[in-house]
Structure 1
Amino acid sequence: MTEVAAPLLEMLWENDDPAEVISTRFGLDDAAAAGRWVAATVGDHWGVEVESVTRIVMSGHNALAWISASSGPFLAKWSVLPTKFPRLTALTQLTAWLGERGLPVSEPVPALDGRVQVETGERTSMSLQRQITGLLLDIAEPQQVRAAGAALAKLHLALADYPRIEDVGAFADQPQPLATRITDWLESGRSGALTPAAHEQMFGFLAGAPSEQLSAQLVHGDFRSSNILCTGHDITAVLDFEEARFDYPIMELAQSAVMLGTRFRDWGPVPPEVHVWLREGYESERPLTAAEAGWWKLLVLWFSFLLVPPKEDPTGWGPAARALLPEMTA
């Protein structure tokens, strides 16, 4: 194997010991062995001469390695969960297609044999991408938030035209109607954050929601600060399509508005003006239909209540959600 110094091992959000995880989940003895394996795998399949592997970050059964090479800095991303390999391949091909069309994504680097997702024969599936310069989206910057909204709209327009939709469709269910989702939630035990009066209000809001059928399509699935890189006021890249699914664009827009400020270890609500900025940016590229606009406030409210934790609420999701109730009749 290629000789490189041992990289720093980290967990993205879990509290597990990374030295133990690299062995028990990923089958590599230690940091030094992991660095050598990454360098050798990238060299064998991509022909990249790795100079160093500086950092490996793990989450679930996925890992990211930061690589320095004579041809530039790279990121290697791999999974050790074979049941996910077909979906990973489909989504990496989707990301490549978006990159070819000029969308701000982290475009995969084709391997020597042309594949963008490579099963190495060691119960591992890996992709390689170039490192992209940028900082995570700052919700305090209105121009960045509006640019993010515009980027999401452009993604939706492109994803609606993806020619290999059946490849992703094999791994994604069609969505339930919005009214069904909200009704099921209200009638379940998961809506405990609502007072009895707010519970009745939600049923009233739902009764007044648009009845027109919305069109579902492929959406990003996890559009928030931790997956959006910016340089100045520009969006450099939208990362991580692993949560891509079929849904209604207005649902993703509302979900993203509520969750836009969340990062790996920092989960809290955003001020209401952030919702407005994101929608403004979105509609600069893809104006909402009358039916979509009619769902907007209710979806933002509903998703805000979905994120209220059942016990302690240190970041204030509950107060933030309740503060939106008066807006429903404004």
Structure 2
Amino acid sequence: MPRTGSPTVEMLWESCDSAEALARRFGFADGGTAQDWLSTVVSEHWGIDVSACRRIVMSDHNALAWLTTSDGELVAKWSVARGRFARLSELADLTQWLAGRGSPVSALVPTLDGSSSLEGSGALLVLQRVIEGDPLDVAHPGQVAAAGAVLARLHDDLARYPALDRLRRVSPTGGSLRERVTRWLDSEPPHVPAPLLATVRGLVSDAPTAPMPTQLLHGDFRAANVLCSGTDVLAVIDFDEATFDHPVTELARSAVLLGTLFHDWGPVSAQVRTEFLAGYESVRRLDAAEARWWDALVGWYSLAMVPADPAHDTTGWLAAARAHLETAARGPAT
């Protein structure tokens, strides 16, 4: 099909020249050349005609393209990082399995031979349905609670994935939680006040020492990857960072980073974290060990987000971490 216009080409978060990145990283002279490649591949392997490519967005060696096609509005997602192809292929199969269970994900469009992904021309490519939703709004309590409940149900589904062993072979694992936190504390980041480090250390000392179960997790559950409409979560997207770890680590990290988008990395309020946790526990209650790790993990992840240069802490990460840790140090209200 003849090309219609040329797509806008941009970077997701990097401050570099998008045209240069498209050429150097992906081998395309311009957006029109990339559109022609996509049109040919999608026609040959999906049997779908592409009439327009409106936008191409790049991040590292990954790219997204929004396509108008004979099968509706689709997103093409591809990577040229060859070392990640095996993992990305497994993650495509995982996404398709989740969609089949009714999980709110962006379902993939299978190729003509029924595959979830296609490897060829130096790229690993998938096609997804466009989800007409907006990123999670942490100022909307209903959305925050719904996101917590969706994360809990997602954890339940991920624990049941039948190809866990295969995915585990190509995925990162968290390792010992206590060792990870202690190693960071022992590094004594000079920009973090020593009393706050000491508070986290005390919370970790009080946390259970017995190992907690690990399972497959999403890995990057935050506003940018949770698409909503009203109080409904329409889709959880971008499983590229999926990992094996303790569910409470993802819950705490997500509670801290819930409001972050692509260029906005500010903390949320304690109220938002409470709403998110309540939503999660409406589906899956934390056990005693997880509950005792909660404050330590929220404190750790909060401090880890504090910029090294105080002048760059424009959104108040240090103040948010201090407020949480002062409350945690006082213990539960009686």
Same structural fold, with TM-score higher than 0.5 when normalized by the shorter chain: yes
Q: Aligned to 2:26, what secondary structure does the other structure show?
A: coil
Query: Is 1:232 equivalent to 2:246 in the alignment?
Result: no
1:22–1:29: 8 Å Cα contact kept in structure 2? yes
CA distance in 1, matches of 2:205, 2:187: 18
**1:60 aligned partner:** 60
Unaligned runs of 5+ in 2: none
Q: Aligned to 1:258, what secondary structure does the other structure show?
A: helix
CA distance in 2, matches of 1:194, 1:67: 46
Q: Aligned to 1:140, what secondary structure does the other structure show?
A: coil
1:4–1:35: 8 Å Cα contact kept in structure 2? no
CA distance in 2, matches of 1:201, 1:49: 59
**1:325 aligned partner:** 325
CA distance in 1, matches of 2:126, 2:198: 49
CA distance in 2, matches of 1:97, 1:326: 43
1:64-99 CA distances to partner (integer Å, 9 max, x unpaired)? 010011221000000111111101000010011000
CA distance in 1, matches of 2:94, 2:198: 42
Q: How many pairs align?
A: 328
Write out aligned runs for 1:242-321 (5 A): 242-311=240-309, 312-321=312-321
- Counterpart of 1:198 (choices 183, 196, 199) is 196
2:79–2:124: 8 Å Cα contact kept in structure 1? yes
Query: Is 1:14 equivalent to 2:9 in the alignment?
Result: no
CA distance in 1, matches of 2:70, 2:110: 17
2:303–2:318: 8 Å Cα contact kept in structure 1? yes
1:153–1:282: 8 Å Cα contact kept in structure 2? yes
One-letter identity of the residue aligned with 1:137: L
One-letter identity of the residue aligned with 2:48: V
Query: Is 1:160 equivalent to 2:159 in the alignment?
Result: yes
**1:176 aligned partner:** 175
What is the percent sequence identity of the aligned residues? 47
Q: Aligned to 1:145, what secondary structure does the other structure show?
A: helix
2:200–2:325: 8 Å Cα contact kept in structure 1? no
Query: Is 1:92 equivalent to 2:92 in the alignment?
Result: yes
TM-score (norm 2): 0.95
Write out aligned runs for 1:41-120 (5 A): 41-120=41-120
CA distance in 2, matches of 1:157, 1:211: 24
One-letter identity of the residue aligned with 1:212: A
1:185-229 CA distances to partner (integer Å, 9 max, x unpaired)? 11114x334323333332222211122321000000000000010
Most deviating of 2-11 and 30-39 = 2-11
2:104–2:233: 8 Å Cα contact kept in structure 1? yes
Most deviating of 319-328 and 254-263 = 319-328
One-letter identity of the residue aligned with 1:183: T
1:157-183 CA distances to partner (integer Å, 9 max, x unpaired)? 011111101221112243222211111
One-letter identity of the residue aligned with 2:326: P
TM-score (norm 1): 0.97
2:87–2:171: 8 Å Cα contact kept in structure 1? no
CA distance in 1, matches of 2:77, 2:199: 46
Unaligned runs of 5+ in 1: none
1:7-56 CA distances to partner (integer Å, 9 max, x unpaired)? 11111111111111111111111111111111111111111111111111
- How big is the alpha-carbon RMSD for the aligned residues of Structure 1 and Structure 2? 1.2
One-letter identity of the residue aligned with 1:293: A
Q: Aligned to 2:308, what secondary structure does the other structure show?
A: coil
CA distance in 2, matches of 1:233, 1:199: 37
1:4–1:36: 8 Å Cα contact kept in structure 2? no
One-letter identity of the residue aligned with 2:11: M
2:204–2:293: 8 Å Cα contact kept in structure 1? no
1:5–1:35: 8 Å Cα contact kept in structure 2? no
> Shift in Å at residue 114 of structure 1?
1.0
One-letter identity of the residue aligned with 1:279: L
2:200–2:299: 8 Å Cα contact kept in structure 1? no
One-letter identity of the residue aligned with 1:231: S
1:193–1:318: 8 Å Cα contact kept in structure 2? no
One-letter identity of the residue aligned with 1:268: G
One-letter identity of the residue aligned with 2:305: L
